Structure 1
Amino acid sequence: MERVRDLSELPKAHLHLHFTGSMRPGTVLELADKYGVHLPDALTDALTSGEPPKLRATDERGWFRFQRLYDAARSCLREPEDIRRLVREAAEEDLADGSGWLEIQVDPTSYAPRLGGLIPALEIILDAVETTSRETGLGMRVLVAANRMKHPLDARTLARLAVRYADRGVVGFGLSNDERRGMARDFDRAFHIAREGGLLSAPHGGELTGPASVRDCLDDLHATRIGHGVRAAEDPRLLKRLADRGVTCEVCPASNVALGVYEKPEDVPLRTLFEAGVPLALGADDPLLFGSRLAAQYEIARRTHGFTDAELAELARQSVRGSAAPRDVKERMLAGVDDWLAGPADPDGAPRGSRRPSPAR
């Protein structure tokens, strides 16, 4: 039997985690009870049973159902202390999975009505991230994301706000929600503002629609990272373009299957992307609804796609290189990956004499 190492000990960066979607199921249930929020039965059943809800977002009705569950969970976040709790627990979960760097994605407009407005909402989130990072040692930053379902002028407002807080922990600008709505070019001005302000460009693309969505992110938004990007596997020329440009795709295997992008875990083209030389960063997306966190994505790569420990280490390196972490943090985490790979392991995957990698600030 091949000797394998504990994936929760592998230093890695987490670049695709949505804010509300990072919550623990028990936290949602507690907050819903506290505020008298009636959760949809499908969500309550999933949170109490530990089984992810049955989702399929490949049609608009299915996407609407997914968004309804997500919005219900978000409605439980009402006070600054709820935000602080979410951030703290997200950090604890990431640390347990071997993450040394987390870039959490948020659209502050979704929380603004209950937190005193757009600016107060973002400041509360950034304060929580800064405090949690300092107290836990996990390197944490924020990626502000616009919503494709809203007007592009709203995205410009968010981009200006994100740039304004670049020195407070905002490192990137994204674009999320149903990519079948809103052309990428409609948001080109917002992304220009973000890039001019020194933020990385990380829109979603190539999840619910095909390779054209990824090309649009490259051509119109000058993406340095792509949220998902898996559908690029359908176009060899596009794969080469991503590889040549070093554009990191934030691949979320469990999410892709849960939302019906692919029928089975083995259908996710993880091996195709990797062997084409496309930099990858595995992410959990929305573990609240999809039921698995960061280390589990690496486990999928190992058990379903046959990634060796050396290949898993390279996946971790790619996640670190694709992050917005400072150079010294990247160097420390990359050295930790080498240590992990050099260390002994038991056949059952439990390493002997290993130590958890030091988190990065």
Structure 2
Amino acid sequence: MADVVPRPLDALPKAHLHLHFTGSMRHGTLLELAARDGIRLPDALVSDWPPRLAADDEKGWFRFQRLYDVARSVLRTPEDVRRLVREAAEDDVRDGGRWLEIQVDPSGYGARFGGMTAFTDLVLDAVADASRTTGLGMAVVVAANRTRHPLDARALARLAAQYAGRGVVGFGLSNDERRGTTSDFARAFEIARRADLALVPHGGELLGPDSVTQVLDHLGADRIGHGVRSADDPRVLDRVVAAGVALEVCPTSNVSLGVFGDLTSVPLPTLLAAGATVALGADDPLLFGSRLAGQYATMRAAHGLDDATLAELARMSFRAARMPEHLRAACLADVDAWLDSPVEHWTP
């Protein structure tokens, strides 16, 4: 009897809405740049890569953050930044990406690159160049760090607002969601809201559904970075669905950080059954070892998703994106074409 061969996932058009700047770096690029400048990398980023991670306590998160900071330190020149952005775009195109919103905290790079404004200019120029070179639609989300003072977040929100309509499409809040008080960042998100930026804070990953409620109540989230723990409370999940708030679900990183024990435990079927809008993302491929198409592949394997469900996940990623309408329409049509394409049959 012949079996149907699933359609190739790297040919499925998709948008990537949860990718961090340094975390998008290729492992080979990290090694090359570190060798160039004599930077000694920990074994977890060399021989033991991808690193074994856990963030269920502060010690685990500190180790994760230390590895991230080491990786960021290899970016020394404007060409390093351009290379990172270009390679991230190339990798997404290879995975079927049509649109990418890359997330960056300029305050983490400003000291080395002439200040936050100069660094933002550099990133936006690199994004424009990479988009022209690869054909990938691209934009930037400026993200504040919740482990820093809320006044820093306001400064970043004002910076993001200055670039609204000029390549910056959103404002986020990242890092360990167990740190800081969510309501303290409300003023920053109000600044971003007035600039018509997408409000995309992290929440509902390391903490439970109450973290989702917090970013909805205090930050007015349009999308939630992760948000996967909303599945823990049907009332919270119903609220997310009713509000039309998209969840940027990153399965591989959830498992790597210990949020779930394995990929079959990532509650994607629960989210979809409730009617949630889900956009799968890779988060930090440099640390988790899996890129965009890998998220679709792991969820297909873990939950037995059929091609129609995978196509709908791709459609949802485009619907949740801050992208030009003509491009969105074209991408949605291409998803339909992927699903309508003939399937292959294999006879054992």
- TM-score higher than 0.5: yes
Report what 1:134 is aligned to: 132
CA–CA distance in 2 between the matches of 1:110 and 1:6?
38
Contact 2:4–2:343 (8 Å) recurs in 1: no
Contact 2:141–2:171 (8 Å) recurs in 1: yes
- 1:3 Cα deviation (Å)? 3.6
Contact 2:6–2:307 (8 Å) recurs in 1: yes
Determine if the alignment matches structure 1 residue 293 to structure 2 residue 295: no
Determine if the alignment matches structure 1 residue 26 to structure 2 residue 24: no
SS in 2 for 1:166: coil
CA–CA distance in 2 between the matches of 1:306 and 1:245?
28
Change (3 A) 1:332 1:149: same
Change (3 A) 1:344 1:176: same
CA–CA distance in 2 between the matches of 1:78 and 1:141?
23
Report what 2:273 is aligned to: 275
Structure-to-structure mapping, 1:141-152, within 5 angstroms: 141-152=139-150
- 1:115 Cα deviation (Å)? 0.6
- Percent of residue pairs identical: 62
Report what 2:51 is aligned to: 53
CA–CA distance in 2 between the matches of 1:134 and 1:42?
35
Report what 1:259 is aligned to: 257
CA–CA distance in 1 between the matches of 2:251 and 2:157?
29
Q: Which amino acid in structure 1 is aligned with residue 20 of structure 2?
A: H
Structure 2 unaligned segments of length 5 or more: list them: none
1:30-70, CA deviations, whole angstroms, 9 ceiling, x for partnerless residues? 11011111111222223xxxx41110011000000000001
Report what 1:224 is aligned to: 222
Determine if the alignment matches structure 1 residue 108 to structure 2 residue 110: no
Contact 1:265–1:300 (8 Å) recurs in 2: yes
Determine if the alignment matches structure 1 residue 10 to structure 2 residue 12: yes
Structure-to-structure mapping, 1:178-257, within 5 angstroms: 178-257=176-255
TM-score (structure 2 length as normaliser): 0.97
Report what 2:323 is aligned to: 325
1:195-226, CA deviations, whole angstroms, 9 ceiling, x for partnerless residues? 10010100000000000100011010000000
CA–CA distance in 2 between the matches of 1:44 and 1:316?
33
Q: Give me the CA root mean square deviation.
A: 0.9
1:270-322, CA deviations, whole angstroms, 9 ceiling, x for partnerless residues? 11111110100000000001011000100111111111100000000000000
CA–CA distance in 2 between the matches of 1:53 and 1:195?
37
Determine if the alignment matches structure 1 residue 85 to structure 2 residue 87: no
The count of corresponding residues between Structure 1 and Structure 2 is 344
Report what 1:164 is aligned to: 162
Contact 1:4–1:347 (8 Å) recurs in 2: no
CA–CA distance in 2 between the matches of 1:277 and 1:251?
14
Report what 1:76 is aligned to: 74
Aligned residue among 149, 152, 155 for 2:153: 155
Q: Which amino acid in structure 2 is aligned with residue 282 of structure 1?
A: L
CA–CA distance in 2 between the matches of 1:181 and 1:254?
23
1:147-197, CA deviations, whole angstroms, 9 ceiling, x for partnerless residues? 001000000000000010113200000000000001110100000000100
CA–CA distance in 2 between the matches of 1:347 and 1:15?
33
SS in 1 for 2:264: helix
CA–CA distance in 2 between the matches of 1:222 and 1:205?
12
SS in 2 for 1:145: strand
TM-score (structure 1 length as normaliser): 0.94
SS in 2 for 1:182: coil
Contact 2:102–2:141 (8 Å) recurs in 1: yes
1:108-159, CA deviations, whole angstroms, 9 ceiling, x for partnerless residues? 1111111111111111001100111122110000000000010000000000
CA–CA distance in 2 between the matches of 1:309 and 1:178?
34
CA–CA distance in 1 between the matches of 2:306 and 2:242?
24
Aligned residue among 112, 117, 120 for 2:118: 120
Contact 2:263–2:299 (8 Å) recurs in 1: no
CA–CA distance in 2 between the matches of 1:135 and 1:40?
34
Structure 1 unaligned segments of length 5 or more: list them: 349-361
CA–CA distance in 2 between the matches of 1:284 and 1:8?
14
1:238-271, CA deviations, whole angstroms, 9 ceiling, x for partnerless residues? 1111111111000000000001100111011011
Contact 1:280–1:315 (8 Å) recurs in 2: yes
- 1:347 Cα deviation (Å)? 4.3
Aligned residue among 334, 337, 351 for 2:335: 337
Q: Which moved more, 1:101-110 or 1:299-308?
A: 299-308
Report what 1:35 is aligned to: 37
